[in-house]
Amino acid sequence: MWKRFTSNALANVVAGASGMAFQLGVTAVATRTFDSSQFSVWALAFSMAALAPLFSANLATIVTRQLVTAATHGRSYTSEVVLESARQISLLLGSTALAFVAVTAWALQHFSPDLQSVSANEFTLITLLIALSQVWQISVQPSFGWHYARGQNWMIAFGISAARAGSLAGVVAACLFDPALWAFALCLAAGAWLGLAVIRRSLAAPRRAGNIKRDALASQRRETTNLLKGFAIWSLGSALIQYALPPIVSILGTTNYNAFYLAYSLNLIVVGIVGAVGSALLAPIARLREEGDLRGLVRLMKTLPAATGMLLVTLLFVLWLALPATLSMLTAGLVSEGDVKPYLQLLGFQTVARSIAVFFAVVLSAGGNPAQLARPILIELALTAFVAVPLGWVYGDRWLLSALATIGAIAAATTMWVTLESVRIDARSRIVIASRFVGIQALVATLWYLVTSLNVP
């Protein structure tokens, strides 16, 4: 199990690294192509478009879970039925994502002071084109789920890397023609789909069998949709909290939006790597749950907080120490280190609060029901809407980020507790796991505070 996990985790990290290289590369090209006001428009459109792939609602996770269940218990449905129902659902999700991004971008134009230099239609077009460069992640969810269930994470890593490399090549090519914002976004989208097309055959899952019965397909679609409800609340709620931060800060009218956006983009690297490593455990944990191996599951959950904490400490501290060189490479003097550090510190606290619970979320997604999946994120959404956003509106963006960090810790504790409820383990094991979770979270947050507070203005 651990040999397979290590290989799959490495594959997921490679996929995450390709996303990191893409994010940093596009940012570096954009800061050298656009002036400060144009970059603000680009950064806001880019962050808006990042909402699109989150409409996948973790469909790949559901497919993986269903295929593992079928293989373990000999369920009546076949992989072809699971995949075909998922393909139909992914088409609907992709269309919904594009419509949401277009409508939201058009509406945001009327509220953000950073968008007054462009028309509403132009900003909507730019955002929609960037969303097209991201929405492929929804279309490949069925194939990804099939490969995850088979432990073929390297195939997924190659596919993601190819799409990212194509996007980056597209924006580099666009710079040769001194493009407008919309042309830059168009090259980004075209490059992504061309890159994915190069490796598409390797990513292919089994094609639809000709003898699938309509009743079986409808039944499977209902089962998948039922699970999707919980996953949709979870993923879309996380999106509103994490990926909607740039639009929210833009509406608050911060005087240093570009510095915030760069800190936000760098922090996402840490979030992405931790999530990538955690997702590699999905199929093994699903098998443990389906086989009823509670002892193995408890042993795993006792080690997860410390392992996650060590990973977070390493990533955050490397990011902090490399910040001067990174900004020099990315921004060409667009913002200063002193402007970025306070935002990066506050975003780091939120990352610590939420990411320690990533592995518990994987355990929950491998066997929890829709209500259990939705509960932690609904609590976090309510507190964000009624506490964090009002505080930010009255006192500014730093109050918003501080409140989000505190709320993230509450949501993480809820995720951990709901996960323990879902596996029905003994009280002593629950106390041990919960104590380790809280202790590691406090330790990492304290270390981050001590290191970063030494030179934050």
pLDDT at 424: 77
pLDDT, residue 76, reads 46
The C-alpha R_g of the chain, in whole angstroms, comes to 22
The alpha carbon of residue 173 and the mean position of all alpha carbons in its chain are separated, in whole angstroms, by: 27
| Alpha carbons 189 and 177: distance in angstroms, whole number | 17
What is the distance of C-alpha 177 from the center of its chain? 32
Domain-by-domain residue ranges, the chain? 1-230, 254-457
**Per-residue pLDDT of the chain in tens (457 residues, 90 and over written 9):** 556 667 777 777 777 778 778 877 888 888 888 877 788 788 888 888 887 887 887 788 888 888 877 766 555 457 778 888 888 888 888 899 899 888 888 877 776 665 656 665 778 888 899 998 888 888 888 888 888 877 777 788 888 888 888 888 888 888 777 678 888 888 888 888 888 887 776 666 666 555 666 777 777 778 788 777 777 777 777 777 777 788 788 777 767 888 888 898 889 888 888 887 777 777 778 777 777 778 888 888 888 888 888 889 899 999 998 888 888 877 656 678 888 899 999 999 999 988 888 888 888 877 777 778 788 888 988 998 899 989 988 888 889 999 999 999 999 999 998 888 888 788 888 899 999 999 999 999 999 999 898 765 5
User: What is the rounded CA–CA span in Å between residue 27 and residue 340?
Assistant: 15
Task: Give the model's pLDDT for residue 445.
Answer: 92
> Which residue bears the tokens 């510190």?
345
| DSSP code per residue over 263-305 | HHHHHHHHHHHHHHHHHTTHHHHHHHHHHT-HHHHHHHHHHHH
Which H or E element spans position 398?
helix 397-423
Distance CA 178, CA 101 (A): 26
Residue with tokens 């955002």: 127
Angle (CA) 214-217-218 rounded to 5° is: 85
Sign of the dihedral defined by the CA atoms of residues 115, 118, 123, 126, in that order: negative
In 10 A of CB 33, how many CB atoms?
17
| pLDDT confidence of residue 407 | 92
- What is residue 140's DSSP assignment? T
Q: Check if the beta carbon of residue 335 is closer than 8 Å to that of residue 262.
A: yes
